[in-house]
Structure 1
């Protein structure tokens, strides 16, 4: 049974003992006290579980679960979802922080507007500073309420971040996809599309940035990203978004796939054989998914309409349903870009 007005904050934890005191303190300082902080220790090997148990013993709103290490954030969220008691769902990482008024302002906006999702402010937080310059900016004021469809567009375009307060019924209806390391980013767009109303609020989410982040390391898992991009393209293509927008999402996905292939080429010599196989498997999956959708025809049409030379390049790279063909052309392109001192395609 869901508790009216309660916010279930879910915090996956893995070797996060360095940050837990400050992140949990920011939750306990909230001026809105109707919450549960549900922490899931994902097989930590440091003192994380010990720290969590100590907080759990001191405050009945803190609940700690454990699971063996493995899987993505989405797997942790699906693991804990049946155990949550709140009417609202909110996610934070072990090193993020909340402004003191965050929960209260989000819940108030949900009640005021009847919104299924509420987007607060967000600021990047580093070890020694905060930075608003790189945070997503909204083109509307925070008093506006928009449709779920419009929110999907703004989210894919980077104008809406993913640290959103959701109605629990919506999250439980869909659950979290687990097909990739960053599949939760896909799930956020599915949730938004299902919303009747999306509102914006005050309060601030402090999103911690550090070099240890899995999305910053060169690991096989980050090469899941191009396939998630493909899935987002497939989502808008199948949900009646206008053709120009679908085309722009496709182009973004294609360019990102090409850039990740180039990233692999440039770093291949430093990788072990197992890592190489895992990365190639992920890139092949994304490439094959695009080719099966006959995207070359789309690019031919765009070239006839615009004359832009990037479309023939796309057509060459995706002309054959064989990843080795794509890999060969990307090797050549990587060398050309290096000669011209160009880091990535844009």
Structure 2
């Protein structure tokens, strides 16, 4: 009996496809089958796949007669799978040699676990390591931390059904959530995969759309996700959600009420005012803060503020402390410009030290862009 079924959907992935297949052939665990789903490629992907299939009977090719995109291609592949454990990979990514062995052994030893995932490297187009996921948050409900190195039981797939074609670009996160509502999902803190960032991969091409779809998914599953969050986690999570999806306020308040919690969505949404005649202090000197700087314009920004970088300069602008913001708040617009996941914590900090008049960049960035960058 085949232990592991690997599905590899490919659409015009000839550039890296051989490397992806070779990483499977190099596995220390050899009881696997590879099902390559060719989704109407017009390059040499099919020829490359056929070359490997002719040499190894464990490799099969399914060719779609019409382009089905990723979710349906995954369903087609797994409908033909014989293994007791399932995983899938991409034509531009790489398994490390012990990935299958490590994940299968973990599932063998932990019968209650429905799905397991490992850490991964991020690599560039040439295969150089850029970073990894070991130091990222691994609270699955607060962030999509599973990445691309995972394995789940056939039983879990039978329970939750197939990948949802209507969840294109977030079909994986949707699937992991659905599994997690039924089974424990656990992490192996080892780097066993390389995820390639390059100009042609889906993450790069659809980055903004993926982010938007992730927030749509979080709104859809908010009730179920909230069951796995503490009261404080729920508040932090919902604030980040609200900044991206302001119309989710009524649903958030309804769920909070049922849980016996108080959440004031209107209070968060009220922080959208600023005085166009005053200069700004941007709280957050990271990527989001620098985005705000570019949008507002350097001449309208007097300071950055940041809990880690105060005393430094960023883009030629002095970075001050939160306490200094308190002293200057009446002279400047204070704008919080940090990532969704950090916004609620900074809001708590501002209110704790007495900075009550502030705006939220993520809430008003479209208005700022229209005001000061109308050509964008």
TM-score, scaled to structure 1 = 0.68
Q: Is 1:78 aligned with 2:65?
A: no
Q: Which residue of 1 aligns with 2:126?
A: 128
How far apart, CA to CA, are the structure 1 residues paired with 2:91 and 2:105?
A: 25
* Structure of higher CA gyration radius: 2
Contact 1:123 1:130 in 2 (8 A): no
SS at match of 2:167: coil
Gaps of 5+ in 1: 140-150, 259-286, 316-328
Contact 1:136 1:158 in 2 (8 A): no
Contact 2:148 2:193 in 1 (8 A): no
Q: Is 1:89 aligned with 2:90?
A: no
Contact 2:148 2:195 in 1 (8 A): no
Contact 1:136 1:161 in 2 (8 A): no
Which structure is richer in relative contact order (CA contacts within 8 A, separation 6 or more)? 1
How far apart, CA to CA, are the structure 2 residues paired with 1:25 and 1:294?
A: 47
> 1:69-127 deviations in whole A, cap 9, x for unaligned?
44542222122222100010111111110111111111122222333222223111112
How far apart, CA to CA, are the structure 2 residues paired with 1:330 and 1:138?
A: 26
Structure 2 counterparts to residues 270-281 of structure 1, below 5 A: none
Contact 1:40 1:65 in 2 (8 A): yes
Q: Which residue of 1 aligns with 2:142?
A: 156
Q: Which residue of 2 aligns with 1:293?
A: 251
Q: Which residue of 2 aligns with 1:250?
A: 238
| Alpha-carbon shift at residue 254 of structure 1 (Å) | 2.9
Q: Which residue of 2 aligns with 1:263?
A: none
Q: Which residue of 1 aligns with 2:28?
A: 31
How far apart, CA to CA, are the structure 2 residues paired with 1:113 and 1:254?
A: 37
> What is the alpha-carbon root mean square deviation over aligned residues?
3.6
Structure-2 change in CA distance of 1:32 and 1:235 (3 Å): same
Structure-2 change in CA distance of 1:34 and 1:122 (3 Å): same
Contact 1:42 1:70 in 2 (8 A): yes
Q: Which residue of 2 aligns with 1:270?
A: none
How far apart, CA to CA, are the structure 2 residues paired with 1:188 and 1:314?
A: 35
Aligned counterpart for 1:236 among listed residues 225, 228, 236: 225
How far apart, CA to CA, are the structure 1 residues paired with 2:95 and 2:72?
A: 24
How far apart, CA to CA, are the structure 1 residues paired with 2:78 and 2:241?
A: 30
Structure 2 counterparts to residues 1-346 of structure 1, below 5 A: 3=1, 6-114=3-111, 115-131=113-129, 133-137=131-135, 153-154=139-140, 156-175=142-161, 176-181=163-168, 182-196=170-184, 198-200=186-188, 202=190, 204-217=192-205, 222=210, 223-237=212-226, 239=227, 241-257=229-245, 287=247, 290=248, 293=251, 295=253, 302=263, 310-313=268-271, 331-335=366-370
> 1:10-68 deviations in whole A, cap 9, x for unaligned?
11100011111111001001111000111101111111111111211110111111114
How far apart, CA to CA, are the structure 1 residues paired with 2:243 and 2:94?
A: 33
Higher helix share: 1
Contact 2:124 2:196 in 1 (8 A): yes
How far apart, CA to CA, are the structure 1 residues paired with 2:18 and 2:255?
A: 54
Contact 1:116 1:166 in 2 (8 A): yes
TM-score, scaled to structure 2 = 0.63
Gaps of 5+ in 2: 274-363
> 1:264-311 deviations in whole A, cap 9, x for unaligned?
xxxxxxxxxxxxxxxxxxxxxxx5xx3662659979x5459xxx9744
Contact 1:102 1:202 in 2 (8 A): no
How far apart, CA to CA, are the structure 2 residues paired with 1:69 and 1:163?
A: 28
How far apart, CA to CA, are the structure 2 residues paired with 1:226 and 1:82?
A: 29
